Structure 1
Amino acid sequence: MIEIAGLPAHILLIHAVVVLAPIAGLAAVVYAAVPRWRPYLAWPLGVLSLFLVPLSLLTAEAGEQLEETRPASALIREHAEQGDVLKAVSVAFFVVVAASLVTSHEPIGRRFAFLGSLRTHRAVRTALLVLAAAAGAYFIYQSVITGHSGAASVWAG
């Protein structure tokens, strides 16, 4: 089992996911909704969404190892299922955010000039911004649901 200072790593790592995932989701919604803030949010949003992928995967792996040491219960199984969904959502969120940044933030987009008119097409940019906002909202939702099921598995009866 992965441990940090003698404690199961899942217990410590989950706090970073529970805090950073909603912040990233909110940043994606604001990035899509407020054009004048895009230059300020682009790099932090991109880096945060990228950082959350390995963090979510590592946290889930530590959780699976912790699960093996505990007696099985319906609440723990539900939390593990929600964690699996959160892993997939974190990867999908990163992909959508990256695509949105490539099409809507010129300094980042210049590095992808090979995409040509696809990168600068207004309908594509708008669709990706709407998709990024929706992915951000769903990332917030899924992190809250996963965190709640984890807390319930620990503190319920």
Structure 2
Amino acid sequence: MIAGLPAHILLVHAVVVFGPLAGLGAVVYGLAARTRNYLAWPLGVLTLMLAPLSLITAQAGEQLQAIRGATDAIQAHARQGDIFKYTAVVFFVVVALMLAATYAPLARRVPALAGLQESRPVRIALLAVGVLAGLFMIYQSIITGHSGSSSVWGG
């Protein structure tokens, strides 16, 4: 509980914003090379915040479900939430690898990453996977959010 409200209800707002925003950032980063210097740090920070936030939000949702009980709609939302939290963690790993392979200042700060940037096929593959992961993050954010709102508001 936070200020008398279930934590899940408050935390979910951050996930609903950060998920699609990070997904869109990954898509733009992967497709528009000229934006990479501007998007690298915001994208990295967003995905770094999104992964643990999604896990905390899911845990708060499970606690809320235990207290309030579970209808079929809430169980459907819980299943989507489980997919979302795993998606957020995998998305973080994909974005971290994509940034490591394509953002030169990062390789200068962490010399162990320089090897990733030397291989053009690896860079292209990670950019493509990053774009696909970003699109899936957007999709999963929408599906999970819709199932959650439907479980509360009906329809």
Q: Report the TM-score when normalising by structure 2.
A: 0.96
Q: Give the letter for the 2:42 counterpart.
A: P
Question: Residue deviations 1:102-123, cap 9 Å, x none?
Answer: 1100001223423554432000
Aligned to 1:134: 132
CA distance in 1, matches of 2:45, 2:82: 22
Aligned to 2:15: 17
My pick for the range that moved more, 24-33 or 102-111, is: 102-111
- Superposition map of 1:74-89 within 5 A: 74-89=72-87
Question: What is the RMSD computed on CA atoms of the aligned residues?
Answer: 1.2
Aligned to 2:92: 94
1:47 partnered with 2:45: yes
Question: Residues 101 and 109 of structure 1 are in contact (CA less than 8 Å); yes or no, is this contact kept in structure 2?
Answer: no
What SS does the aligned partner of 2:150 have?
helix
Q: Give the letter for the 1:74 counterpart.
A: D
Question: Residue deviations 1:81-134, cap 9 Å, x none?
Answer: 100000000000000000000110000122342355443200000000000010
CA distance in 2, matches of 1:155, 1:116: 50
Question: Residue deviations 1:2-35, cap 9 Å, x none?
Answer: x110100100110110111100000000000100
Unaligned stretches of 5+ residues in structure 1? none
Q: Report the TM-score when normalising by structure 1.
A: 0.95
Across the two proteins, how many residue pairs are aligned to each other? Answer: 155
> Percent identity of the aligned residues?
59
